[in-house]
Amino acid sequence: MSPSSTDDLAIEARGLVKHFTSGKSVTKAVDGIDLTVPEGTVLGVLGPNGAGKTTAVRMLATLLRPDAGTATVLGHDVVRDADKVRSVVGLTGQYASVDEDLTGTENLVMLARLYGFLGGSARARSTELLDAFGLGDAGDRQVKTYSGGMRRRIDLAASLVMSPRVLFLDEPTTGLDPRSRNQVWDIIRVLVADGATVLLTTQYLEEADQLADKIAVIDHGRVIAEGTATELKRSVGQGAVHLRLADSAQRARAAELVATVLGAEVSLANDPYAFSARVPDDGGPAVARLLPALDDEGIAVPEFSLGQPSLDEVFLALTGQPLDEDPGASDDETIEEVA
């Protein structure tokens, strides 16, 4: 690799490994991950529960020491130069760090003081952030009274007190309603427009699609695919069409017609009125012809939808396996080791 391309990387991880041992069982949480994130870009790390996303982020943010491999953030080694890394990164976790008993303002002022803002300027920074995150009216309330969406925004605000150049966002919108999710996305877009580098983990392909320049799909602690959202989607086709008819007696004929127009297999739902079909790669124009073709045959279609490929479909295509829930991956986060 040429020196100039290395210089442009905000985050570079090579062969990162982390095991957890509890009793006799060993979990390979991260099993040899390589990641590169050019400065000023967004990497989406996409994976199901227990894939190793949080563990990877915690190693990069210096909260956990890797068992093997190396990683640098803006050129600083996450083990040897952990202090330097901490001075340039912001982290908001799934299990975030604001104090629930303090008010929004108190949390931000406290953090600002920690980062060296003096009295008045700490308060000014807090006010500025609360306003930017639409929390101006909630600043005097204890964080434990906040809704989930407000809570997520105060977490984000807390991670931005010192305008980090590199930001780790661990599932920043999990559990948020669509409106709050959009607000958080907007905030992240503004940060990136201002030059920040973001590594965000998510379980949603759509979130990665909205925000990320590149996506790394991880499963069982390994990167199983990497590329742009378009590249990943291309690997699973264009998604699927779902139809529900007015008359179940017409389903067989309708399914046959759809199969012919799309050139794809149709699957019949348990619901006798409904069926769906995968849309092939170049199937966009054919989808547009479906409704007129059905109409010509006198088949009424009161419900028709075209869905993006889901994360399940991406996984199915990438691994040949459906997404599996790891029952061991739960809320049992313990900060067990700090580098």
Ligand X SMILES: Nc1ncnc2c1ncn2[C@@H]1O[C@H](COP(=O)(O)OP(=O)(O)OP(=O)(O)O)[C@@H](O)[C@H]1O
- Which residues contact ligand X by CB under 6 A? 20, 22, 27, 29, 47, 49-55, 94, 203, 326, 328-329, 334, 336
Over the window 41 to 80, marking each residue x when it contacts Mg ion by CB under 5 A and - when it does not, the resulting string is ------------xx--------------------------
Pick what 272 binds: Mg ion, ligand X, none; C-beta below 5 to 8 Å, kind-dependent.
none
Helix (H, G, I), strand (E, B), or coil: what is residue 285? helix
* Residue 94 beta carbon to Mg ion: minimum distance, rounded to whole angstroms: 5
Which option in Mg ion, ligand X, none does residue 331 bind, with CB closer than 5 to 8 A by kind? none
Smallest distance from Mg ion to CB 54, Å: 3
Question: How far apart are the C-alpha atoms of 69 and 320, rounded to whole Å?
Answer: 29
Task: Report, in Å, the least distance between residue 24 CB and Mg ion.
Answer: 24
Measured CA to CA, the distance from residue 87 to residue 26 in angstroms comes to: 33
Q: Report the residue number, 81 or 326, with the smaller CB distance to ligand X.
A: 326
The distance of Cα 256 from the centroid of its chain, to the nearest Å, equals 38
- Residues 89-148 within binding reach of Mg ion (CB under 5 A): 94
For residue 48, the minimal CB distance to ligand X (Å) is 6
Among residues 71, 83, 90, 76, the alpha carbon closest in space to that of 165 is found at 90
Q: How far is the CB of 30 from ligand X (least distance, A)?
A: 7
Count interface residues toward Mg ion (CB under 5 A).
3
Cβ burial, residue 194 (10 Å; 0-12/13-18/19+): exposed
* Partner that binds at residue 55, options Mg ion, ligand X, none, CB closer than 5 to 8 Å by kind: ligand X
Q: Which of Mg ion, ligand X, none has residue 47 at its interface (CB below 5 to 8 Å by kind)?
A: ligand X
SS3 (DSSP) at 297: coil
- Angle formed at CA 31 by CA 210 and CA 37, multiple of 5 degrees: 35
Let me know: does 108 contact 129? Beta carbons within 8 Å: yes
For the chain, the maximum distance between any two Cα atoms, rounded to a whole number of angstroms, is 75
Q: Please say which residue, 105 or 202, places its beta carbon nearer to Mg ion.
A: 202
> Choosing among ligand X, Mg ion, none, which partner's interface includes residue 191 (Cβ < 5 to 8 Å by kind)?
none
250 binds Mg ion (CB under 5 A): no
Q: How far is the CB of 209 from ligand X (least distance, A)?
A: 18
Separation between Cα atoms, residue 181 and residue 262, nearest integer Å:
34
Question: By three-state DSSP, how is residue 147 classified?
Answer: coil
Could you give the 3-state DSSP secondary structure of residue 235? coil
Residues in the chain, total: 339
If the CB atoms of residues 26 and 252 are measured against ligand X, the closer one turns out to be 26
Which of ligand X, Mg ion, none binds 20 (CB below 5-8 Å, type-dependent)? ligand X
